Amino acid sequence: MRKNEGANPPCLVSLDWHQDLCYPCEVEKEWLHDLDLFSDGDVSIFSWTKLAGNNDGHILCAAYLNIIGDIYVHCRQEPFPDSWKDEELIDKLGNVHTIKIFKTYKDLQNALLSSSETSVFFDIDLDFFSVKNGLSDDSFIFSYLQEEEIRKMLDKDNPLIHWVFERLKGITIATEPEHCGGLLRSNKFLDLISDIYFDPELFAPKCNWKWKPKY
């Protein structure tokens, strides 16, 4: 893993059904202090053996290490009444990271377009495209955004996505098949993202972003 350059690491913009914003406990902070970020092996082993298995702690662990800056999450989960209030995390260097959680896409867009952020990590968890998530309430009944709505939301000419791509430093896609209602549904969403952003398809020879020049 490369060390961040400059005082301000990229912010994180995340689309997720869940918030995934659990704070590292004191023991986890000790582990993070001891982690050698220059060793791919150490980082891999740490991610495998010590990050929470339900993946709800990885974002704020990265913030605690100052790998990411401020955090902007658009999600559907509302675990408690104050779920939408801004929060703060102080990292191991004493930097303050603001955590902003948004109930609507429009609110996320308004916040980012008026921000001073200059670089972005973009995270898409595919369960975000479920509206009713049957795994969260044990009903196992799912409903989903329509394809047209997803395409409009992720279109490279959409003001928010255009803003993100102008500042993009990296993108992550979490397939989340269980939380999508099954592997086929998850693959359908992944195929849709591939069609929206890549030509030829994701992982094909000479795969390239549609918004960048050809090889």
Summarised one tens digit per residue, pLDDT across range 68-94 is: 999 999 998 776 677 788 999 999 999
- Residue 213 above 90 pLDDT? no
- Residue 7 above 80 pLDDT? no
Q: Is 144:194 a contact under the CB 8 Å cutoff?
A: no
**How is the chain split among helix, strand and coil, in percent rounded to 5?**
35, 20, 45
Question: Is the pLDDT higher at 213 or at 192?
Answer: 192
State the average pLDDT for the chain. 91
Q: Each residue of 18-46: pLDDT tens digit?
A: 888 889 999 999 999 999 999 999 999 99
pLDDT recorded at residue 87: 94
Which amino acid is present at 185? R
Produce one character per residue of 115-124: b if its CB has 16 or more CB atoms within 10 Å, e if not. Answer: eebebbbbbb
Rounded CA separation 18/195 (Å): 25
Rounded CA separation 201/111 (Å): 32
pLDDT recorded at residue 55: 66
- Residue 2 above 90 pLDDT? no
> What is the band of 136 on the pLDDT scale with cuts at 50, 70, 90?
confident
- Residue 53 above 70 pLDDT? no
